[in-house]
């Protein structure tokens, strides 16, 4: 699909209501029907997916040239699969342009990309490395978030991790409570070889009102461990002038204040929150 046609389609389909998947709509395809017949799993494309340190990944994502591979055709917010290249280094990544964001009734328009970057900043401060390296930059369709593509371990079933209440997910449950994640689905878990589990899709986080929706309620009400408390303390202590100034460019002042309150509440209660019944506690669909 030509670049002009792809941009026109993005603008026309901003009201799409389907969930994100992992098949891509090739950038060189003709009609949508033809493109979907030619669609392929991202893992089958042979794209470069190196394991990078955070600083190297950020430098590549910030300064690398983005080559558009295709659109994740089932993506709610028109996520683009790209390859970032700079200085002989290249890696697959996801680019979510602001212009492709679907308006939501409870979040301000054109803010989801910035929330993804803010989630990375909090994840990094916690020391848990839950969110893959993520930046805000200009791209083929304007400003958007760009995130390193993480190759999942096909031997690990994310749904099984949730059902079995795998201990590796507990830090993510604490992180979600801190950033007020309204959309933690099993499909947003990326287990990798070596045992680590990443989390992705944090565009609906940091709301000032409590809206925690997650499939990770298995530890609700349970005491936080020393490491969990240490991670939240690192986030709280990291909200100094420099970090606060960075986050202030990404989320609203009331949302930043709410983040501070949630961290303080977690440290006060020393326990994960439980559903209150005031809002849906499970995202739909849960996968």
Q: So what's the pLDDT on residue 72?
A: 83
Tokens of 167: 């201990």
Tokens of 218: 């298995």
- State pLDDT tens for residues 194-208: 999 999 999 999 999
* Helices 112-126/170-179 angle, 10° precision: 130
Q: Does an H or E element contain 80, and which?
A: strand 80-86
The band of 276, judged by pLDDT with boundaries at 50, 70 and 90, is confident
Q: So what's the pLDDT on residue 21?
A: 40
Q: For the beta carbon of residue 69, count every other beta carbon within 10 angstroms.
A: 20
Residue 2 falls in which region: left (phi positive, over 0), alpha (psi -120 to 50) or beta:
beta
**Structural domain spans, the chain:** 3-148, 158-269
Residue 57 to residue 62: CA distance in whole angstroms? 8
Residue whose pair of structure tokens reads 């805000």 in the numeric block: 136
Residue 77 to residue 66: CA distance in whole angstroms? 18
Please determine, for residue 11, whether its predicted confidence score (pLDDT) is greater than 60: no
Q: So what's the pLDDT on residue 274?
A: 93
Residue 253 to residue 257: CA distance in whole angstroms? 6
Q: So what's the pLDDT on residue 17?
A: 33
pLDDT mean across residues, the chain: 87
Whether the CB-CB separation of 141 and 7 falls below 8 Å is answered with: yes
- Residue 67 pairs with which residues in a beta bridge? 83
- State pLDDT tens for residues 79-135: 999 999 999 999 999 999 999 998 998 899 999 999 999 999 999 999 999 999 999
Whether the CB-CB separation of 41 and 74 falls below 8 Å is answered with: no
Residue 183 to residue 18: CA distance in whole angstroms? 14
Query: pTM of the prediction?
Result: 0.87
Q: Does an H or E element contain 225, and which?
A: none
């Amino acid at each position: 699909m030509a670049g002009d046609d792809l941009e026109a389609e993005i603008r026309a389909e901003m009201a799409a209501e389907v969930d994100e998947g992992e098949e891509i709509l090739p950038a060189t395809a003709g009609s949508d029907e033809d493109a979907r017949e030619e669609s392929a799993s991202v893992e089958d494309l042979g794209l470069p997916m190196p394991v990078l340190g955070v600083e190297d990944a950020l430098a590549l994502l910030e300064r690398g040239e983005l080559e558009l591979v295709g659109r994740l055709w089932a993506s709610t917010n028109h996520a683009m699969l790209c390859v970032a290249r700079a200085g002989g280094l290249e890696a697959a990544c996801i680019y979510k342009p602001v212009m492709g964001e679907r308006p939501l009734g409870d979040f301000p328009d054109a803010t989801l990309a910035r929330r993804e970057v803010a989630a990375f900043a909090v994840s990094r401060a916690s020391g848990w490395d839950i969110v893959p390296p993520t930046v805000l930059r200009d791209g083929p369709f304007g400003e958007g978030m760009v995130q390193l593509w993480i190759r999942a371990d096909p031997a690990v079933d994310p749904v099984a991790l949730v059902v079995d209440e795998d201990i590796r997910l507990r830090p993510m449950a604490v992180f979600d409570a801190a950033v007020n994640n309204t959309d933690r689905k099993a499909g947003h878990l990326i287990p990798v070889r070596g045992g680590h589990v990443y989390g992705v899709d944090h565009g609906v986080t940091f709301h000032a009102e409590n809206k925690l929706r997650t499939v990770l309620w298995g530890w609700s009400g349970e005491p936080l461990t020393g490491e969990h408390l240490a991670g939240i303390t690192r986030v709280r202590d990291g909200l100094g002038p420099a970090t606060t100034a960075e986050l202030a460019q990404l989320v609203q002042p009331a949302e930043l204040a709410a983040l501070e309150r949630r961290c303080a509440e977690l440290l006060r209660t020393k326990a994960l929150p439980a559903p209150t019944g005031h809002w849906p506690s499970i995202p739909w669909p849960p996968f």
